[in-house]
């Protein structure tokens, strides 16, 4: 089937290997055969913090990450929320389609509130999943490659599409989520891999930074390396990371290391990660800041053209 693929990221910091194996690799594979939009979700940055921070810097770095992994701006429309007013305007009718109780039940939002350091929960925190539905539907997106934490949000987009169509006639396709098939990577400290926790290998990290981070990774004192997710989660995670980079099973790597202990494991994983990132680092260096700004200008323009058409259709369906 011919899909319109839409996905995106908040520009809050550099992308890491968890993102890569979770969703970025999928995007690169999909760009050949489908229409694709990649959103830099700048308005979504202020859901769980008061200020957008170094937003321009973060957007530039995110664009560099995209180009480095091989997204091709000639085929993929890369754009940002704040440059497409017609997308944002969809939030208004969409909010009328969901109840407050539904907004309060969203498990990802609840988790984010629980981990937030903000004094008060803003209205945007509860409504951003509906804004995200606008992200997906503004281009009549049909396929949304995301990590597991985003499934409740795709569910909101499906609900909004269905209810809009019921009330006003058929305008939107009902989008589907697409999950990465790869195992979930944890951070090198054993916790959730996160942009902000210092426990992730960034796609933009140098060889030395990568080596230092893996050297610090938590392991255990057993010399014989085995793949045992239950009993030895930190070792298993390193084996998974090495396996993903080498295209091999974690068990076969454990076998190869045998009783070499954590030091040999870390050496092997460091080399595997650095080898894997080499072409990505090289492509990153091939782009200047001026190039990436141009990519964004063109992407914003294309996204806006699409958004104008869809918003017109929405207004017509509603009788405005
Ligand atoms: N919420 C997503 C994240 O934090 C980013 C995002 C914004 C997104 N809009 C989207 C993802 C639309 C998929 C589709 O990672």
Q: Are 227 and 254 in contact (CB under 8 A)?
A: yes
153 CA → ligand 1 middle, Å? 8
- Protein residue with least CA distance to atom 10, ligand 1: 8
Fold of 4-182+288-318: Rossmann fold (3.40.50)
pLDDT for 195 equals: 75
178 CA → ligand 1 middle, Å? 13
pLDDT for 64 equals: 97
Every domain of the chain with CATH number 1.10.240.10 lies at: 207-284
Which residue among 8, 12, 91 has the greatest number of ligand 1 atoms within 8 angstroms of its CB, and so is best to mutate? 8
pLDDT for 183 equals: 67
Minimum-distance ligand 1 atom for the alpha carbon of 44: 7
pLDDT for 295 equals: 97
262 CA → ligand 1 middle, Å? 36
Beta carbon of 47 within 6 Å of any ligand 1 atom: no
3-state secondary structure 272-296: HHHHHHHHHHHHHHCCCHHHHHHHH
pLDDT for 116 equals: 85
Q: Which has the closest alpha carbon to 209: 22, 16, 76, 28?
A: 16
pLDDT for 181 equals: 66
Query: pLDDT for 134-168, tens place per residue?
Result: 999 999 999 999 888 899 999 999 999 999 999 99
What is d(CA 261, CA 138) in angstroms, rounded to the nearest whole number? 52
Enumerate residue ranges in the chain where pLDDT < 50.
Answer: none
136 CA → ligand 1 middle, Å? 9
Beta carbon of 132 within 6 Å of any ligand 1 atom: yes
Write down the pTM of the prediction: 0.93
Helical (H) or strand (E) element with 176: strand 176-179
- Protein residue with least CA distance to atom 14, ligand 1: 7
Q: Which CATH superfamily is domain 207-284 in?
A: Tyrosyl-Transfer RNA Synthetase (1.10.240.10)
156 CA → ligand 1 middle, Å? 12
3-class DSSP state of 51: coil
Q: Would you report the helix, strand and coil content of the chain in percent, each value rounded to 5?
A: 60, 10, 30
Beta carbon of 7 within 6 Å of any ligand 1 atom: yes
pLDDT for 192 equals: 82
Beta carbon of 144 within 6 Å of any ligand 1 atom: yes
What is d(CA 157, CA 185) in angstroms, rounded to the nearest whole number? 27
Beta carbon of 136 within 6 Å of any ligand 1 atom: yes
Which residue among 134, 146, 194 has the greatest number of ligand 1 atoms within 8 angstroms of its CB, and so is best to mutate? 146
- Protein residue with least CA distance to atom 3, ligand 1: 9
215 CA → ligand 1 middle, Å? 32
Beta carbon of 202 within 6 Å of any ligand 1 atom: no
36 CA → ligand 1 middle, Å? 14
pLDDT for 22 equals: 86
Give strand pairing partners of 37. 6, 77
Beta carbon of 48 within 6 Å of any ligand 1 atom: no
Beta carbon of 10 within 6 Å of any ligand 1 atom: yes
Contacts of range 56-64, beta carbons closer than 8 Å, 24 or more positions apart: 58/11, 58/12, 58/13, 59/11, 59/296, 60/289, 60/292, 60/293, 61/11, 61/13, 61/14, 61/204, 62/9, 62/11, 62/14, 62/15, 63/292, 63/295, 63/296, 64/204, 64/284, 64/287, 64/292
Mean pLDDT over each residue of the chain, to the nearest integer: 95
Query: pLDDT for 219-269, tens place per residue?
Result: 999 999 999 999 999 999 999 999 999 999 999 999 999 999 999 999 999
pLDDT for 217 equals: 95
Every domain of the chain with CATH number 3.40.50.620 lies at: 4-182+288-318
What is d(CA 247, CA 144) in angstroms, rounded to the nearest whole number? 25
């Amino acid at each position: 089937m011919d899909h319109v693929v839409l996905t995106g990221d908040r520009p809050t910091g550099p992308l890491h290997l968890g993102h890569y194996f979770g969703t970025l690799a999928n995007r690169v594979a999909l760009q050949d055969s489908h229409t694709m939009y990649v959103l830099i979700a700048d308005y979504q940055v202020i859901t769980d913090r008061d200020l957008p921070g170094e937003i321009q810097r973060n957007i530039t770095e995110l664009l560099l990450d995209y180009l480095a992994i091989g997204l091709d701006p000639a085929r993929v429309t890369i754009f940002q929320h704040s440059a497409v007013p017609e997308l944002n305007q969809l939030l208004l009718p969409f909010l009328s389609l969901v109840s407050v109780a539904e907004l309060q039940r969203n498990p990802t939002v609840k988790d984010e509130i629980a981990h937030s350091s903000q004094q008060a929960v803003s209205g945007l925190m509860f409504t951003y999943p509906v804004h995200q539905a606008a992200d997906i539907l503004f281009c009549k997106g049909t396929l949304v490659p995301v990590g597991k934490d985003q499934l409740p949000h795709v569910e909101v987009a499906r609900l909004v599409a269905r209810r809009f169509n019921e009330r006003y006639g058929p305008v939107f396709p009902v989008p589907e989520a697409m999950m990465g098939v790869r195992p979930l990577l944890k951070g090198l400290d054993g916790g959730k891999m996160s942009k902000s926790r210092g426990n992730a290998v960034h796609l933009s990290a140098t060889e030395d930074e990568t080596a230092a981070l893996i050297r610090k990774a938590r392991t255990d004192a057993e010399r014989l390396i085995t793949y045992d997710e239950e009993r030895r989660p930190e070792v298993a995670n390193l084996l998974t990371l090495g396996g993903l980079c080498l295209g091999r099973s974690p068990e076969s790597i454990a076998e190869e290391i045998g009783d070499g202990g954590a030091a040999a494991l870390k050496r092997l994983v460091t080399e595997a990660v650095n080898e894997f990132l080499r072409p990505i680092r090289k492509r990153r260096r091939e782009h200047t800041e001026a190039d990436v700004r141009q990519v964004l200008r063109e992407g914003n323009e294309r996204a806006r053209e699409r958004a104008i058409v869809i918003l017109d259709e929405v207004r017509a369906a509603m009788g405005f």
